[in-house]
Amino acid sequence: MSKSWNRKETWLALIAVGVGGLIAAIAGLHLYVTATATPIHPDPHRVPSSTQATPSPPWADAVQRSRESTRAALSEQNLPGLSVAIGVGGQVVWAEGFGWADLESRVPVSPETRFRIGTASTVLTSAAVGRLLEKGRLKLDDEIQAYVPEFPKKQWPVTVRQLMGHLAGVRNDGGDEGPLLSSRCERPVDALQAFGERSLLFEPGTRYRYSSYGWILVSAAIEAASGEPFLRFMEKQIFEPLGMRDTRADSATESLSHRMTPYFPRYAADPRYGPDVMRPIDYSCYAGASAFLSTPSDLVRFGMAINGGPLLQPATVELLQTSQRLASGQETGYGLGWDLETVTLAGAQTRAVGHDGESLGGTVASLMTFRDRGIVVAVISNVSYADTPSIALKIADAFAGQGTAPAGK
């Protein structure tokens, strides 16, 4: 047998040992992490909670069922904190915080605790576009350069509508590795440094691909069309008129009252293995794509105003909440900043319109509106990869099962 063959066998054996060692190390790490994961709330019945006021008596049974399911989910998912609110018939009928806003200091979550809502910010920004549409100051089928000339022309035209519907082919931010998370922007247009020169991924209108960068461009268009800073326009036109006193842009430089501590799963993108404090990030460049802090109560007020309040005309709401279509004619299931789906509520198929919010690639918030039922529900957690959609749907189902009032009544 030749020496070269012996060397080959030796190298193959070393590679096999190395691969085997790596597999063993990964398995060992998994076993260690799972064995040492400490439940934050081992007993669902002992989860601390805080309410602003006693829920109205007609909804006592639905509130009790929702409390039980929320506490169970908080414990099962090993979430540090969670806040919920629900509106029925145009009124917030229940709001409650569960668990800890900060684990180290054991600050409890209250209904006033502000959370990052991540990409759920787009529904608020969509409403701002609606305001400008009604004033005739912005047009959906204008090319984006009509408002943001700083964005270079691409190989195909890109419209405001395509950006809002995630049909523009603009790249996304890469989740938890986005370059803008370590940058500071005074205006939305400042964020173009990260993606403005990049080519489109596909011809606009031919594919659906979620893009936070696209909604940064929409924010820049709002600023240009309104003639005032984006965040100030949001405050004057959306937050202040609706009494959303706890909604504002997150800040990496200011100390904000009633702000939760954000967490990230320490292993496998799963909160059940325990949370770590999220690394410092700056959302200022994301503007209307992801920058807002809010509370479930404020999001419910917003949802009720969209469904039947004075914020926007019904035709404008319908325009924003209608599924977009690809050039092939296929519906995307996404409107202009709104996610559209059909769910089972109290045993019946029901249209749900809203948006989940992601922070560093994982879900932290869910807003669901059920116009036909007169229900709006919002759930927010302070750890990424929380299953807030299932919690929100269980709450909505409890209230729908007890009976609801028409929106605005």
173-176 long-range contacts (CB < 8 A, ≥24 apart) are 173/212, 173/213, 175/358, 175/360, 175/361, 176/264, 176/360, 176/361
Question: How many domains does one find in the chain?
Answer: 2
The single-letter DSSP state of residue 236 is I
Contact 303, 352 (CB under 8 A): no
Nearest to 400 by CA among 363, 368, 364, 374: 374
Nearest to 116 by CA among 270, 285, 25, 249: 249
Longest pairwise C-alpha distance within the chain: 90
pLDDT of amino acid 32? 43
CA 261, 384, 194, 254: dihedral to nearest 10 degrees? -10
Q: Is residue 42 part of a domain?
A: no
Residues 72 and 15 both lie in one domain: no
Q: Is residue 43 part of a domain?
A: no
Q: Is residue 222 part of a domain?
A: yes
Find the angle CA(303)-CA(409)-CA(352) to the nearest 5 degrees: 35
Q: Count of H helices and E strands in the chain?
A: 10, 13
Residues 191 and 62 both lie in one domain: yes
pLDDT of amino acid 120? 98
Residues 3 and 123 both lie in one domain: no
Q: Is residue 161 part of a domain?
A: yes
Whole-angstrom distance, CA of residue 313 vs CA of residue 307: 10
Domain that holds residue 231: 48-409
Residues 258 and 400 both lie in one domain: yes
Q: Is residue 109 part of a domain?
A: yes
Residues 255 and 372 both lie in one domain: yes
Q: Is residue 333 part of a domain?
A: yes
Residues 120 and 144 both lie in one domain: yes
Residues 29 and 56 both lie in one domain: no
Residues 261 and 356 both lie in one domain: yes
Q: Is residue 352 part of a domain?
A: yes
CATH of the domain at 323: 3.40.710.10
For 307, other C-beta atoms within 10 Å of its C-beta total: 24
Whole-angstrom distance, CA of residue 391 vs CA of residue 395: 6
Tokens of 197: 């020169």
Tens-digit pLDDT string for the chain (409 aa): 555 545 566 665 556 556 555 554 444 445 445 545 799 999 999 999 999 878 878 999 999 999 999 999 999 999 999 999 999 999 999 999 999 999 999 999 999 999 999 999 999 999 999 999 999 999 999 999 999 999 999 999 999 999 999 999 999 987 666 789 989 999 999 999 999 999 999 999 999 999 999 999 999 999 999 999 999 999 999 999 999 999 999 998 888 999 999 999 999 999 999 999 999 999 999 999 999 999 999 999 999 999 987 899 999 999 999 999 999 999 999 999 999 999 999 999 999 999 999 999 999 999 999 999 999 999 999 999 999 999 999 999 999 998 655 444 4
Residues 156 and 187 both lie in one domain: yes
What are φ and ψ of residue 3, in 5° steps? -65, -35
SS3 content of the chain, % helix, strand, coil (to 5): 40, 20, 40
Whole-angstrom distance, CA of residue 295 vs CA of residue 67: 18
Contact 79, 263 (CB under 8 A): no
Nearest to 71 by CA among 45, 104, 89: 45
Residues 343 and 377 both lie in one domain: yes
Residues 17 and 149 both lie in one domain: no
Q: Is residue 67 part of a domain?
A: yes
Residues 53 and 20 both lie in one domain: no
